[in-house]
Structure 1
């Protein structure tokens, strides 16, 4: 399959080119810092951002795309599920 954008540099404004399923964990960083999180099942999500701040997003609706540079998704306090990290 051809990819007309293969020779273009990625930026934070460009679409994600890869992703991975996230299981919230209080002790493990994500395999890669994200450019966004997709929340498949709504609820609260607690993240540690790339800059180190821990933030709780309350009542995130299912199907939400959060443009976050997250390094961790914490299990404690996270009730959302089916979370996907986009990079």
Structure 2
């Protein structure tokens, strides 16, 4: 199978290389900083940004939140079906 990503340089403006399901956790960071989050079921999303700041936002069903995220917090998160979009 041909891999169209094989010779591409990693880019924050390009497509994600992978999409990983997220289980909100107050103690553990994601396996890699996400360039965005995809949320299937809207609600409140509590997270720690790539810069290390605690944030809380309301998101709608089937939303993409285009912000760097290192951790999705269990406390304060009511959204579900959360996936991390990973570049590297």
TM-score by length of 1: 0.92
Q: Which residue of 2 aligns with 1:68?
A: 67
Cα shift at 1:44: 0.4
CA gap of 1:31–1:5, structure 2 versus 1, over 3 A, is closer
Where does 1:11-50 land on structure 2 (aligned, <5 Å)?
Answer: 11-50=11-50
Task: Describe the SS at the equivalent of 1:52.
Answer: coil
Task: Tell me the distance in 2 between the aligned counterparts of 1:3 and 1:28.
Answer: 32
Looking at structure 2, the residues matched to 34 and 74 of structure 1 have their Cα atoms a distance apart, in angstroms, of 14
Kindly tell me the number of residue pairs found equivalent between the two proteins.
86
Report SS of the residue matched to 2:46. Answer: strand
- Give, in whole Å, the separation in 2 of the partners of 1:36 and 1:82: 14
Partner of 2:4 in structure 1? Answer: 4
After TM superposition, the runs of 4+ consecutive aligned structure 1 residues lying more than 3 A away are none
Unaligned runs of at least 5 residues, structure 1: none
DSSP-derived class of the 1:29 partner? coil
> Normalising by the residue count of structure 2, what TM-score does the alignment of the two structures yield?
0.91
Structure 2, unmatched stretches of 5+, are none
